[in-house]
Amino acid sequence: MSRGDFTPRAAALSPLLAALLLLAGCATLEQQGIAPESAAPAAAPKALGDTPEVAERKKLIALYGGEYQWPKAQNYLNEVLVKLAKASDTPTQPYRVTILNSSVVNAFALPSGDLFVTRGLLALANDTSEVAAVMAHEIAHVTERHAFLRAEQEKTAAVITQAAKVIQNRQKGEEVEATAARTIAGYSRQQEFEADKIGIGVIARAGYDPFGAVRFLSALARSSEMRAALIGQSATGKPDILASHPSTPERIAAALQEARQIGAPGLGDQARRPYLTSIDGIIFGDDPSDGAIRGRKFIHPRLGFSFEAPEGYVLENSAQAVLGVANGGAEALRFDSVRMPPGKTLKDYLTSGWIDGLLASTIREGRVNGLPAVFADARAGDWNFRVAVISFHDDVYRIIFALRNLTPEASKMFDDSVDSFQPISPEDAQLARPLRLRLATALPGDNAASLAAKMALTDQPVEQFELLNGLDGDQVKPGEIYKIVAY
């Protein structure tokens, strides 16, 4: 199985945010959001008699929020797959695509020929040749048996490491293990370059523009950089020597060289309009049934509450929690929920040991918009924590802020944010309606700013419009169709 092939390496989490991610207590938001690739797979129903392939397929679909039903795009992608399969080295191998209900940009394949693409990836791609490059890359992993070969490498490395530990000593075994890890990482990185090269050749033979891979990888890099800029962290820096995937700039350069060897730009079909028509109307970003982020506000219509982060925070939704950062990661928050332990009070729960450094003298009981709540401060190392636990229905909602300098101004800002937790209002319910990709035709006089003004996005709308449409500066052409985000 090939996973995460087209996913850029995210900016490193700050130590503070990483610590908040590790909070104990089996927290969840009732499976709201989409689990990140590094998260443990979500539980998936396994029917009696399921083959390993079927069980793996179910697990992957559950991990990425389930299937997203959009027949127009699914049928179109399967038609493209037929063309790609015929142009591949295994023209009789059947392939099928499943769209996953995730805003994460990702694609992967199983050896059975099952291909998976997320909503997020479809939103980022701008034409058929781009998404064809992604799928051809995945076909290459299948035809070259990359998953099997990587697994064999890992088995061999494990045997050699264990032998070194037994025959020599633990230290020598760890040295051998580290060497093996670097070898496997390099082997995996080489597989990615190989899949890119094979995929570009396949889409060219199928009649598509071989430069589609270059454009999509470039959009991927821009997307990663924009996200890093929003949270105040750099997406650049030295690549991890153990990273299993080449850095995006490396892949762009290699893909560009491969495409140029096939021919000059304009050689194949981009098929932009039919692709954009197929994805017109798909949900963009979070699925509101799992909670929606609207600026600094998190709204969960199904669970019936809303919460607003302090000014300057950028929020991200996951299956375990809503996480937020500000000031380049120097401040962070975590918002999640746990089931209320039977027979326990909120104060009992707060002092049950799930958070270190709790200052007993700061514990105080109160209410947040009429809901029972308990508040406290905690300190661990150089970090100060403000903690609130709020009882709502049968759950305990936890709001945790962390920062180094707990000034009176910061305390007031956090208190105001905690006080924003409330049962959902009709206005918030309207705000949490699904955001969707829509198509807009540029009129004479339109530019990136005028089209971006039609979008229901508040964070860097012009930059997001240009990213969504693969524009480098204001290149809007009258009569052309463009993606916008609207209700």
- Among 32-46, 121-135, 379-393, 449-463, the range scoring the smallest mean pLDDT is 32-46
Q: Identify the residue whose tokens are 């419009």.
A: 465
**pLDDT value, residue 160:** 38
How many beta carbons lie within 10 A of that of residue 25, not counting itself?
Answer: 16
Stronger pLDDT, 164 or 221, i.e. the higher one? 221
Please state the φ and ψ torsions of residue 350, each to the nearest 5 degrees. -60, -35
The 10s digit of each residue's pLDDT in 441-472 is 999 999 999 999 999 987 789 999 999 999 98
> By the 8 A CB rule, do 105 and 120 touch?
yes
Q: 257-264 long-range CB contacts below 8 Å, 24 or more apart?
A: 258/196, 258/197, 258/200, 258/201, 258/210, 259/200, 259/204, 259/210, 259/211, 259/213, 259/214, 262/200, 262/201, 262/204, 262/210, 263/204, 263/210
CATH number of 435-486: 3.10.350
Give the residue extent of every domain in the chain.
Answer: 39-279, 291-427, 435-486
Q: How far apart are CA 247 and CA 8, in angstroms?
A: 8
Residues in CB range of 371: below 8 A, 6 or more apart: 390, 391, 392, 421, 422
114-118 and 107-109: which strand pairing?
Answer: antiparallel
**pLDDT value, residue 148:** 44
Q: Report which DSSP code applies to 165.
A: H
Which of 24, 17, 19, 22 lies closest to 331 in space, CA to CA? Answer: 17
Q: Above 80 in pLDDT, residue 8?
A: no
pLDDT tier at 7, thresholds 50, 70, 90: very low
> By the 8 A CB rule, do 140 and 147 touch?
no
The 10s digit of each residue's pLDDT in 249-280 is 888 999 999 999 999 888 899 999 999 999 99
Q: Amino acid identity of 226?
A: M
Q: Above 60 in pLDDT, residue 385?
A: yes
**pLDDT value, residue 143:** 74
**pLDDT value, residue 419:** 97
Kindly report the pTM of this predicted structure. Answer: 0.74
The 10s digit of each residue's pLDDT in 349-375 is 999 999 889 999 999 999 999 999 999
> By the 8 A CB rule, do 177 and 156 touch?
no
pLDDT tier at 54, thresholds 50, 70, 90: confident
Roughly what angle, to the nearest 10 degrees, separates helices 212-230 and 170-205?
130
Average pLDDT over residues 283-292: 89
**pLDDT value, residue 289:** 84
pLDDT tier at 144, thresholds 50, 70, 90: low
In the predicted model, what is the mean pLDDT of the chain? 80
What percent of the chain is predicted at pLDDT more than 90?
Answer: 53
pLDDT tier at 35, thresholds 50, 70, 90: very low
CATH number of 291-427: 3.40.1000.10
Average pLDDT over residues 400-421: 94
Average pLDDT over residues 195-222: 94
Which of 340, 230, 301, 295 lies closest to 32 in space, CA to CA? Answer: 301
